[in-house]
Amino acid sequence: MARAELMDYDKALELFEPVIGLEVHVELNTTTKMFSPAPNPANSAFHGAEPNTLVTPVCLGLPGSLPVVNGAAVRSSISLGLALGCTIAESSRFARKNYFYPDLAKNYQISQYDEPIAYEGSVEVELANGRVFQVPIERAHMEEDAGKLTHVGGSTGRIQGAEYSLVDYNRAGVPLVEIVTKPIFGAEADAPELAKAYVSTIRDIALSLGISEARMERGNLRCDANVSLRPRGTEPLGTRTETKNVNSFRSIERAVRYEIQRQAAILAKGGTITQETRHWHEDTGTTSPGRPKSDADDYRYFPEPDLLPVEPSRELIEELRAVLPEPPAARRRRLKGEWGFTDLEFQDVVNGGLLVEVTLTVAAGATPAAARKWWTGELTRLANAGQTDAASLATPEQVAELAALVGEGVLTDRLARQVLEGVVAGEGSPREIVEARGLAVVSDDGALVAAIDEALASQPDVLAKIRDGKVQAAGAVIGAVMKAMHGKADAARVRELVLERAQG
């Protein structure tokens, strides 16, 4: 694949105005699927099931089977719609989206078309620089997920070149809500960051509602980013591309930025943008063309005759509205105060998409400062190295446990970082790793004193200097002791003891 030509980002923004639109799919964590009583793999109780074990005749589209709407999924969808500031339709309808694909058991997807359950909303999104955007929501509609294909025999794991493909229908029928924004104008150079911050806000909302596990790396949250450019001073919207397969927050930002630079280079040369879906490649940080989108795409939508319209009562809607959690923007303002973070510290958390993680870590017993330090520090560093999101590396409970171990003096920061590497590698909980790797700080003064006395004895000149009051000379002895203890000692305590023994 030839590498696309990119225009310098600032130059691109000088010549063109970026317009973005975002489609976010949220997998609901209901106990059963959207239209069948099969267990829902997007619910943590059913993670790791063997392929094709979470299925009924409905999921497999067996002849004669019929869908039945999951009431819990409808309630989750209404809650989400309300949290997005949407109007909830008095009557909404399912429709069939017809296309042939082997992961789609019926060869049509039950979705909503012209009558979605929620429409016309707005979400407040705040950027690092303090800019606040109202992102306009077009609609949120319910649909079912497709199954999962695994392509076998090719070198790329993609369908091209594969010898055969395996289908797992566990995911077929998982309840989804697709949230579609209106075109977002005026973000300018912040467009990539706004895209990321918007998805992060959707995640916050879904998590605070408790309707989804909302983990991007698991596919609970998926984003398609539409990007188009229009020359400065012109009115009509440019041709857009839709970038799919953007599976992390950092990818969203990078993908939008990449498309702006790519499209600008083409347009500046007098070229035209092809309306198409593009695939994001995490490893190369580029997009490549997928299926061309054109008028030939005809899904032959028609109202699903197997299902009745969804007509939630006013009472139900008001009941769900009454228990909505605090909106993310308000919650951020509140948390910033409660945690006592500086603007910069708080933005670090927000930009990392780590607000929920820090909140949960504090809830699990850590101090806000410790929670922030581990998430925005070491875990973010590891995430960047591994090209993933920090949230995918550890759970809030694990981080809280780590912070507790440091607080108890069992671990030094240096040892804690080693333990965290173990956590990320899946070796178990921090305490288990401390145990297994034998990483605890040596807090037995007897062992330390023995090592100190030995070091002092072997460096009489240093001992003399310390006794002369040149306390900084103790560093050499402390270093030797730490080395002898293989780093598993608290340096501050060692220093104390060195001074004590030297005087003795």
Nearest approach, Cβ of 171 to other proteins (angstroms)? 15
Pairing of strands 221-231, 241-246: antiparallel
Distance of closest approach, residue 152 Cβ to other proteins, in angstroms: 13
Determine the Cα–Cα distance for residues 368 and 183; give it in Å rounded to an integer: 37
Choice from 21, 41, 67, 192 touching other proteins (CB under 8 A)? 67
Residue for token pair 């037995």: 444
Q: Quote the least distance from Cβ 124 to other proteins, whole Å.
A: 37
Element housing 188 (H / E): none
Interface pick for other proteins out of 48, 64, 270, 469 (rule CB under 8 A): 64
98-102: Cβ within 8 A, 24+ apart: 98/299, 98/300, 98/301, 99/299, 101/146, 102/149, 102/165, 102/167
Least distance to other proteins, CB of residue 308, Å? 5
Binding marks (x or -) toward other proteins, 40..59, rule CB under 8 A?
A: -----------------x--
Kindly state whether residue 245 participates in binding other proteins, applying the rule CB under 8 A.
Answer: no
Determine, following the binding rule CB under 8 A, whether residue 298 of this chain makes contact with other proteins: yes
According to the binding rule CB under 8 A, does residue 171 interact with other proteins? no
CA–CA dist 444, 475 (Å, integer): 21
Select the span of 95-103, 114-122, 238-246, 330-338 touching other proteins (CB under 8 A).
Answer: 95-103
68 sits near other proteins (criterion: CB under 8 A): yes
Q: By CB under 8 A, name the one of 157, 183, 210, 302 that touches other proteins.
A: 302
CA-to-CA distance for 316 and 336, rounded, in angstroms? 33
**In contact, 58 and 67? CB cutoff 8 Å:** yes
Mark 306-335 with x for binding to other proteins (rule: CB under 8 A) and - for no binding.
xxx---------------------------
Find out whether 57 and 64 touch, Cβ atoms under 8 Å.
Answer: yes
Specify which residues 224 forms β-bridges with: 23
185/299 with CB nearer other proteins: 299
Which stretch, 71-79, 198-206, 304-312, 338-346, contacts other proteins (CB under 8 A)? 304-312
Strand arrangement, sheet containing 286-292: 87-88, 118-126, 132-144, 175-181, 16-27, 221-231, 241-246, 276-281, 286-292
Is there a contact between 93 and 112 (Cβ–Cβ < 8 Å)?
Answer: yes
270's torsion region: left (phi>0), alpha (psi -120 to 50) or beta? left
61 scored as a contact of other proteins (CB under 8 A): yes
Tell me how far, at minimum, the Cβ of 142 lies from other proteins, in Å.
Answer: 14
Asked if 117 touches other proteins (CB under 8 A), the answer is no
CB closer to other proteins, 36 vs 359: 36
Least spacing, CB of residue 318 vs other proteins, in Å = 25
User: The tokens 């930025």 sit on which residue?
Assistant: 257
Of the pair 161, 340, the CB lying nearest other proteins is at 161
Stretch that binds other proteins, among 298-306, 314-322, 362-370, 378-386 (CB under 8 A): 298-306
- Give the residue, chosen from 232, 300, 381, 483, that forms a contact with other proteins under the rule CB under 8 A: 300
As a whole number of angstroms, the distance between CA 342 and CA 409 comes to: 27
Distance, in Å, from the CA atom of 101 to the CA atom of 54, rounded to the nearest integer, reads 20
Could you list the residues that contact other proteins (CB under 8 A)? 57, 60-69, 96, 98, 100, 102, 105-108, 165, 167, 295, 298, 300-302, 305-308
